[in-house]
Chains A and B, each alone.
Chain A
Amino acid sequence: MAGYIVKRFFASILTMFVLITITFFLMHAVPGGPFSPAEERKVPKSVMEKMEEKFGLNEPLSVQYVNYLKSIAQGDLGFSFKQSDVTVNELISRGFPVSAKVGLVAIVVALIVGMLLGITSAIKRGKWADWASMIFATVGISIPNFVITVLMLFLFAVVLKLLPTYGLSSWKHYILPVIGLAFGPIAYIARLMRSSMLEVMRQDYILTARAKGVPEYRVIFKHALKNAIIPIVTYLGPLVAALLTGSFIVERVFSIPGIGRDFVTGISDRDYSVILGLTVFLGLFIIVANFIVDVLYAIIDRRVKIEE
């Protein structure tokens, strides 16, 4: 187990390094990007001076690259081109807590609802409850998140007017964004949980548990669930990534001042340095999340081997 964790740790560090490198060189190649030659840059003079001071734009590429790595190592993710007095770190410290709050609620909702649907479906295999949850799950994985989100905006802002569709000032404001974020993951988790649960319930050790006289609810929720949950645990990493990209949609549609909205604003303003900084931040965040999930997985399943 320890070997596996060490291996995953180094793979994560390498992934981070690859990610930062790709980001840097892509940004370098963008015409009018943050590192492109002075005459192509349409950025305020004050910004150019800061860039010059920080990375030495007239130095060779390798020097700029090293300077860039250094500044990231110091936790400095750069500043906005469009608003030269705003740094990416400020955007993150303002927006990330907001996004994280909504995201965390969405994770909890997605896991609870998705797993319950999947378990119900597996236990009631072939009955109407199975059909209902699997039809719902197929709807959930088929309808894109932006369609759901925009549909909810229309329904609640124009037709029903039951829930607020703007901002994030009370608990009611959370409902629509959380549904928008969690809808797809719920469907995915439900399908995953169902097939994993059906697979586990066929195993010999479930028969052993029953033959020991363990009551059925305990067979399902203790013996089967702990095994069936492993695919869900490995999905947690991709889930975090899905929620982050989902937040681009949801925060934009429901005007939530989070990091996702900053990212989308950065895209439409072509504010390359903000996108650069946020991509690195979100990328690192996802890699760390993946690593934590790997450790969690190794703790649950002690059999995990290095080859896996």
Chain B
Amino acid sequence: MKLLQVENLKTTFHIDAGQVQAVRGISFHVEKGESIGIVGESGSGKSVSMLSLLKLLPDNATLTADNILFDGAQMVNTSQKAMRKMLGRDIGMIFQDPMTSLNPLFTVGEQIIEPLRIHQKLSKEAARQRAIEILRMVEIPSPEKRLKQYPHEFSGGMRQRVMIAIALSCSPKLLIADEPTTALDVTIQAQILDLMRDLKDKLNVSIVMITHDLGVIANMCNRIIVMYGGTIVEQGTTREIFYKPRHPYTWGLLRSIPQFTEGEKKKLISIPGSPPDLLRPPAGCAFTSRCPYAMKVCEKQPPQSVALSETHQAACWLMHPKAANHMREVIG
């Protein structure tokens, strides 16, 4: 059953220089209890698309969509105020940098208790008890003592645990994690990912994991959405994306994962070039200028999304029958 269904979402920022089309018509869904990953470089629109769904963007951003169904309810025209009532209660969120995501002037306890008091109308004492319970759940030692401390008394990993505790405090149906491990050390990254996996099973929460690193979500997500230049270029199950990728950008992303096979370190390959200027989005495929397999048509017209299986779709002209000879060349 679908928890979240988004059709043709567009997000535009209005700035002095013109309109930045940060998200240019994306469609996806999240099943109940499933976790999906959204992958892409910074500027690909992956964070903006989630923030705009939740009405968390500044006033100069506008959103349009054919459909946004959350738990069966239409949210396209939900006001920011009504959205706030769902945030924290039905949808929890974790951000990239735990060092700056907690308010430095309030104790950790105050910050965990706040959503409990707002959404569940718990008494102070009940909220405190619940906060201790949650801190224990995210494996923070001596939670009674920790509640009274300020964020600067916590390490980065501990702070991210606190952020997870806050996001999960009201048992939301959906957890959106925006690059939750990017700012952390590698060993701490693994711990946080393990914790999130455990909690997902325990609480039966759906997770949308936003990241620029495919490696992070390989063991975590059922399905993966690859975004580039404000569009979805490919989506499929984790297996499909890792073993049958169809979009040249996905190939590039897969090659840029550091791989350690049999003790030998392979060369890390990055994708040359930089993402498109979304103030003047290209007429054709956004990836054209960086694509080693670009054709004339790629510059002229955006490719359509093509279904490769029930779960796997990709948008690339290489899949057009007239490009079949190129494709053979590419795949070999």
Contacts and interface: CB of A to CB of B under 8 A. Distances in A.
Interface residues of B, number: 30
Nearest to B100: A204
Question: Chain A binding site: helix, strand, loop or mixed by DSSP?
Answer: helix
Given A208-B166, A210-B56, A302-B152, A227 B105 contact: yes
A302 B119 CA distance: 29
A303 B152 CA distance: 7
A216 B84 contact: yes
B103 A208 contact: yes
A205 B102 contact: yes
Interface in A76-135: none
Nearest to A227: B105
Interface string B163-178: 1001100000000000
Interface string B79-106: 0110011111100110101001111111
A215 interface: yes
A207 interface: yes
A211 interface: yes
Contact of A211 (B56, B81, B97, B102): B56
A213 interface: yes
B104 A301 contact: yes
Contacts of A209: 103, 114
B119 A213 contact: yes
Interface range for A: 20 to 34
B89 A213 contact: yes
Interface string A175-218: 00000000000000000000000000001110111111111100
B104 A227 contact: yes
A105 B198 CA distance: 58
A300 B105 CA distance: 7
A210 B84 contact: yes
A205 B56 CA distance: 13
B309 to A, nearest CB: 35
B248 interface: no
A226 B150 CA distance: 14
Contacts of A210: 56, 84, 87
B88 A211 contact: yes
A208 to B, nearest CB: 5
A8 interface: no
A223 interface: yes
Nearest to B80: A216
A303 B150 contact: yes
B179 to A, nearest CB: 12
Contacts of A204: 95, 97, 100-101
For B80, B85, B88, B92, which residue has the most chain A Cβ atoms within 10 angstroms?
A: B88
Interface of B: 54, 56, 80-81, 84-89, 92-93, 95, 97, 100-106, 114-115, 118-119, 150, 152, 163, 166-167
30 contacts: A204-B95, A204-B100, A205-B100, A207-B95, A207-B101, A208-B103, A209-B103, A210-B56, A210-B84, A210-B87, A211-B88, A211-B93, A211-B95, A211-B167, A212-B88, A212-B114, A212-B115, A212-B118, A213-B87, A213-B88, A214-B118, A215-B118, A216-B84, A227-B104, A300-B105, A301-B104, A302-B105, A302-B152, A303-B104, A303-B150
Interface of A: 203-205, 207-216, 223, 226-227, 300-303
Top 6 closest pairs, chain A to chain B, by CB: A213-B88, A211-B93, A213-B87, A204-B100, A212-B88, A205-B103
